[in-house]
Amino acid sequence: MVKIMINPARRVNRIELSQIRKMFVAPNPDTVNLGIGEPDFDVPENIKLAMQEAINENDTHYTPNKGYEELQEVIANKLDKDNNIKTEADNVIITAGASEALYACSQAFFDKGDEIILPNPSFLGYSAWIKLSDATPVFADCYFENEFKLKAEDVEKKITDKTKAIILNSPSNPTGSVMDKEDVKAIVDLATDNDILIISDEIYEKIIYKGKHYSSGAYSDNVITINGFSKTYAMTGLRVGYLNANEQFNEELLKIHQYCVACTSSISQRGALEALTGPQDSVKKMVKEFKRRRDLIVTSLNDLGYPTCNARGAFYVFPQVDDSNTFVRKALDNGVVTVGGSAFGSNGKNHVRMSYANSYENIELAMERLSKI
Ligand code: PMP
């Protein structure tokens, strides 16, 4: 092979590969992996069947760019019923997971010089997408003492005349925190008063044990609401999600979506349609089991001397440790994969993220191993 020197684009040099993805490579078969960001459940049978039918019917062609109209309509109704967001089917774009929706938002709206406010700590994709669009991430602090909930006053402190957007994520990855209604409303007001766009990532909406989910899109149409099927229906590999945005935003977003993926997989869209219109008992069952594991992991970690909030949603806990690098290394030496909290922002420095998307028995085993470090 001829070796030639090709430099990557500067924007790519600004980001690194995900530390969590790297973790997938590590463990030997005996290792308990608490680094995982996806449900350990299978896709419900009715959804599998719908996708098999799609293949048998040769529903394997391009779909409309925004997705199947029937699915857009079902999502618009869902947004009205569950989230109190009044919208039209045409304002919904079916995306290749929430990831593509977030990428499209950043490419369509962020520019060099723009500041984008995001929670500290938060999902590591956000800063990568912000940097890929040449904008600057500005972290709003979340505190252990507040169960890591993002508070409106901490967002307000970070607003400048360069602020272009605020990213919300409730329930949160990596902390499991669920925002209070007053903060959601107050942040919407701040955004309206200062001409700032809100991007609301609601992918863990249905995985909630205490409190209620409040959508910022219910209070303003200056919000792009993002959701998907990866977590609620364990459909991570099927790459299907969606965004809802008013007409004006929608047109810009469609430009990115159209040239990026053309449309989302027809088969996954058929699965998504069944997910929303079919029985919801698998979701209830999954959330009930997650709660059982959450109770186990929170109690065990607190007993072991790692202060841990009783996470209200998602499937992560974010215990406090003395030094996260040392903890992650020692845990791995003892057969437990965790993720160092600083991957999610500087406020994660003395924390690690543990996912309980693993069996109850494995979590018990992991806690026993951690008791020895
Ligand atoms: N947002 C958050 C907060 C996430 O945790 C994830 C997945 N880890 C995503 C978005 C991306 O989800 P999807 O599979 O729908 O692209």
Question: Which tens digits make up the pLDDT trace of 89-110?
Answer: 999 999 999 999 999 999 999 9
The per-residue pLDDT for range 205-231, each reduced to its tens digit, is 999 999 999 999 999 999 999 999 999
pLDDT for the residue numbered 17: 86
> Which amino acid residue places its CA nearest to atom 8 of ligand 1?
37
Residue ranges of E strands in the chain: 32-33, 92-95, 115-120, 136-141, 163-169, 197-201, 223-228, 241-244, 316-317, 336-337, 339-340, 352-355
Q: Is the CB of 233 under 6 A from ligand 1?
A: no
Query: 238: helix, coil or strand?
Result: helix
Ligand 1 neighbourhood includes 205 CB (under 6 angstroms): no
pLDDT band at 129 (very low <50, low <70, confident <90, very high): very high
CA 87, CA 79: separation in Å to the nearest integer? 8
Q: pLDDT tens-digit profile of 294-353?
A: 999 999 999 999 999 999 999 999 999 999 999 999 999 999 999 999 999 999 999 999
Ligand 1 mutation target, pool 38, 43, 94, 99, most atoms within 8 A of CB: 99
With a 6 Å cutoff on the Cβ, whether 39 touches ligand 1 is: no
Token pair 């062609």 in the structure block, residue: 61
Count CB atoms within 10 A of the CB of residue 46. 15
> How far is ligand 1, taken at its centre, from the CA of residue 88, in Å?
24
Backbone Cα Rg of the chain: 20
The pTM score is 0.96
Question: Can you give the pLDDT at residue 26?
Answer: 55
Tokens coding 317 = 């806990």
pLDDT tens sequence across 241-297 = 999 999 999 999 999 999 999 999 999 999 999 999 999 999 999 999 999 999 999
* Selection from 82, 73, 107 nearest residue 269 by Cα: 73
Q: Provide the β-strand partners of residue 136.
A: 115
| The pLDDT of residue 21 is above 80 | no
Q: What pLDDT is attached to residue 25?
A: 55
> Is-contact 243 93, C-beta < 8 A?
yes
